[in-house]
Structure 1
Amino acid sequence: MHAMKPTVLLIDDHSLFRAGLRLMLSDAIAHLDVREAASIDEALGVPRDSPAPCLVLLDIQLPGVNGLDGMTLIHRRWPDCPVIVLSADGASATAHSALARGAARFISKAEPAAAIQAAISAVLRGECDERPAAADPRPHLTPRQCEVLVLICEGLSNKLIARRLNLSENTVRGHVQALLAMLGVVSRAEAAFAARKRGLVG
């Protein structure tokens, strides 16, 4: 019986980029099994008993829940799995935000293929970038997460929040799940209580 190959999960909504990166990884690191997803929902939609990935390669600009918000959900599902954020947005503020949220490394898509390959290999060996010290113990929320949190505190359902913010219910559900994970709670009532206690809402 053959040993199961370690799995790398590639989450990016551009199929051409996924195909190119898969080809590069297959050529460079033959023992990897590369699994693809076009969104956070698709990535997390695999059965619970599926093998956990040994590494997640994550784009930021994704349909529905974006990569930075989705990182919380990925870490909750696979707490020991490192995440590399691989983004076309190479701004230092974006890199800082990704590392602060728990990314093992941030790589700009503008980097040469050899540099991307070397960074992925380094993380697979257990090497991570140093994470910036958190200046504020409160969770860092995006403007959209703040809007959703306020409406949760007002007692609105996902359907009503979706209607109010002109979003799909799936997208709202993803934001709610991310907020519960960031606040360390399991219910909307607990989220509202924690948000008010931490001064995240008025």
Structure 2
Amino acid sequence: MEPSYTIIIADDHPLFRNALFQSVHMAISGANLLEADSLESLLSLLEKSEEPDLILLDLKMPGANGMSGLIHLRADYPDIPIVVISASEEPSIVSQVKMHGAFGFIPKSSDMRALISALNQVLEGEPYFPAELLVDSNESNDLAEKIATLTPQQYKVLGMLSDGLLNKQIAYDLNVSEATIKAHMTAIFRKLGVKNRTQAVILLQQTESDS
């Protein structure tokens, strides 16, 4: 008897989510498929149900910008394999996805056969990254390594800096003191090797410009 898998498809585009739904059913008969259209609905699903065997994650969804959704999930659910499915197929993005602990990367341009093959490989416990997209880029890897050292809270603070929020606003939104935010920022600057918030924001934008 074949094992029964629970898989969450997290993507905010209904048409693509439906296509992925059909593909997964073709790849894995009897799979229990759940759907989420935002990071918030995905986290809510994870809280309510048993941990799934796999999450198929789009990089761009409401509540998730660039790598932030992946980083959040890896921090809170380190044991769940996450495969990123994205229209961003630049080698630098794929390198970052791998660096941040994803179990695989499937381009949205993949045909049905490639998609089914990738899903089967992942469920057999083998990571899937298209060889042609894993070009070694020292600069992007170095950048991804620096970003990967941030804690989820520090990454959240950096994202809010990028949105132009002041320390006071960030402290209010995260329900912490302004001194805590300043401590986070000191740690962020040190880890990223920058001197101020402008440089930190530029660095973050470099990692997310194509994702």
- TM-score (structure 2 length as normaliser): 0.68
Q: Distance in 2 between matches of 1:59 and 1:71?
A: 9
Higher mean displacement: 40-49 or 52-61: 40-49
Match of 1:135 among 133, 137, 142: 142
Distance (Å, rounded) in 2 between the aligned partners of 1:119 and 1:151 = 36
Give ranges in structure 1 of 5+ residues lacking alignment. 161-168, 177-186
- Cα offset, 1:43, TM superposition: 0.3
In structure 2, stretches of 5+ residues that fail to align are 197-211
What is the Cα deviation at residue 37 of structure 1? 0.5
Aligned equivalents of 1:9 and 1:45: distance in 2?
A: 12
The Cα offsets for residues 129-164 of structure 1, whole Å up to 9 and x where unpaired, read as 4787853652258x997462479996323487xxxx
The amino acid across from 1:108 in the alignment is P
Residue 187 of structure 2 corresponds to: 194
Whole-angstrom CA distance in 2 between matches of 1:67 and 1:36: 20
2:34 is the counterpart of 1:45: no
**Cα 1:114/1:147, change in 2 over 3 Å:** closer
Alignment correspondent of 2:22: 23
1:91 equivalenced with 2:90 (yes/no):
yes
Q: Rate the CA distance shift 1:188–1:27 in 2: closer, same or farther, 3 A.
A: same
Give yes or no for contact 1:71–1:101 (8 Å, CA) kept in 2: yes
Conserved 8 A contact 1:10-1:58: yes
1:148 to 2:148 alignment: no
Q: How far off its partner does 1:196 sit?
A: 4.0
Cα gap change, 1:5 to 1:67, in 2 (>3 Å): farther
The two structures have a TM-score, normalised by structure 1, of: 0.70
C-alpha RMSD over aligned residues: 3.5
Q: Percentage identity across aligned positions?
A: 26
Q: Deviations over 1:20-59 (max 9, x none)?
A: 2112212321132111101111101236352011111111
User: In the TM superposition, what whole-angstrom CA distance separates every residue of 1:4-28 from its partner, at most 9, and x where no partner exists?
Assistant: 9431111111111111211221232
Work out the CA distance in 2 between the residues paired with 1:87 and 1:74.
16
**Native 8 Å contact 2:157 2:181 kept in 1:** no
Between 111-120 and 128-137, the greater mean CA deviation after superposition: 128-137
